[in-house]
Amino acid sequence: MDVADESDDRAGPPAVVVGGASVLPVLPVVPDVTGIEPERLVEALAAAPGGAERAAALAAEDLPAPGGRTALEAARLRGYVLAAFCRAGLPAEVEPHVVASLESGLPYEVAGAAHALQGLERAAPDFAGPLARALRSLAGADARISFEAYRPSWPYAEPTTALTEVVRAIGRLGPDAGEAAAALAALDVGTLPEHLRPEVAKALADL
């Protein structure tokens, strides 16, 4: 897995080479990722010049499903790509995609967007509203997931849940949590699954 070097400036950014296939994810064009494992694509993008901006092409809500994937598969890919920004850092140009995914109502995609906020290195009051709405939309519809791989084996080595990721993201907002803090405080902790109760308590303590 490497990044091809293209000396012709007219060719644009260098192509990302994954498993012998060359893909060029340049906004606003969705790359053809048919047959390419998402884990390998995300790793290649992370190492590529401008990789964060180019990965954003796969996270865009208003673009066609990449590689002929169904809408649900595309949503899963968006969630997986967004989750990777927790390690790579969350650039400003990806933030609108995070907001859109938080509002999607799809547990895996919402979780990926919330997980991405770990890579945010600024005050973020503008995420409070989307996180509050995500918290409400997932009430009673939580899902156990993992970002250890695109299709992780069961039992998960690194399990989490969509609501867990949203609650943790709210806690990280601290004094900027605003509407999200109010939504979190309004939860009836006694009705929550046991695994989520300490997460809520910690998040409230961090606010």
Domain boundaries, the chain: 2-206
Q: Are strands 16-18 and 159-161 parallel, antiparallel or unpaired?
A: unpaired
How do the pLDDT tens digits run along the chain, 207 residues long? 333 333 333 344 344 333 343 333 333 333 444 455 666 666 666 666 666 666 666 665 544 455 566 778 878 888 988 898 887 778 888 888 899 999 999 999 999 999 999 888 887 899 999 999 999 999 878 999 999 888 889 999 999 999 999 999 999 999 999 999 999 999 998 999 999 999 999 999 999
Which of these, 75, 104, 14, lies nearest to 50 by C-alpha position?
14
Could you tell me how far CA 152 lies from the centroid of its own chain? 16
Q: Which CATH class is domain 2-206?
A: mainly alpha
